[in-house]
Amino acid sequence: MYYPPTSTPSRREPVVNTSVIQKILDDNVQLIRSIISNQQTGNTGHELQQNLQLLHKNLIYLATIADQANSSNSNSTVPPQQPGGPPQQQ
């Protein structure tokens, strides 16, 4: 299973590539299956709680990466051109 960093990604950390993201998503599938299995068998013990916490951590990590990617993309995009007007300066 993938264990995301305890801190949120910063600009100093290396860029997360798609293979790392895919690994986290694959791990999340396994975590969800395990959680469902535990719930169906009535096992609400330590393993279930641990899997729920890890799934939550993974989802928060992925959301943080997505937010940072969106904010960096929006900062580098050119504002839309107004119809009939000259291109806007940045």
Residue 84: its pLDDT value, please? 54
Q: Provide, for the chain, the percentages of residues in helix, strand and coil under a 3-state DSSP scheme, each rounded to the nearest 5.
A: 60, 0, 40
> Any idea where the domains of the chain sit in the sequence?
18-72
Give the span between the Cα atoms of 48 and 3, in whole angstroms: 16
At residue 26, does pLDDT exceed 90? yes
The overall average pLDDT reported for the chain is 79
- The contacts of residue 73 (CB under 8 Å, 6+ apart) are none
- The contacts of residue 57 (CB under 8 Å, 6+ apart) are 3, 4
Residue 14: its pLDDT value, please? 55
